[in-house]
Amino acid sequence: MEKNLKVIHSGNVVIEDDVEIGSNCSIDRATLGSTKIMNGVKIDNLVQIAHNVIIGKNTCIAAQVGIAGSTLLVVIV
């Protein structure tokens, strides 16, 4: 019988200035590197943010949202 292997998450979480995080949110640290929540982000209640996610400046996340690992929510101009 094969065994499951655990992936160690040795990264971190960076939360910049003026960020609001609602009740019962979960922000996972990165596998490697950083999970980043940039300046001015507003996160409603019951939000799951997985590993290595980057959420760009002044983004709003509605309640009960799940964001998959390594997702980039940034404005590209």
Please state the domain count of the chain.
Answer: 1
Is 51 assigned a catalytic role? Answer: yes
Residue 32: inside a domain: yes
Identified catalytic residue from 36, 41, 47, 51: 51
Compute the distance between CA of residue 10 and CA of residue 8 in angstroms, rounded to an integer. Answer: 6
Residue 7: inside a domain: no
Containing domain of residue 23, as a range?
Answer: 12-68
pLDDT of residue 65: 98
Residue 27: inside a domain: yes
Contact of 11 with 34, CB cutoff 8 Å: yes
Residue 59: inside a domain: yes
What are the φ/ψ torsions at residue 67 (nearest 5 degrees)? -115, 120
Residue 75: inside a domain: no
pLDDT of residue 75: 83
Residue 29: inside a domain: yes
User: For 23-66, what is each residue's pLDDT tens digit?
Assistant: 999 999 999 999 999 999 999 999 999 999 999 999 999 999 99
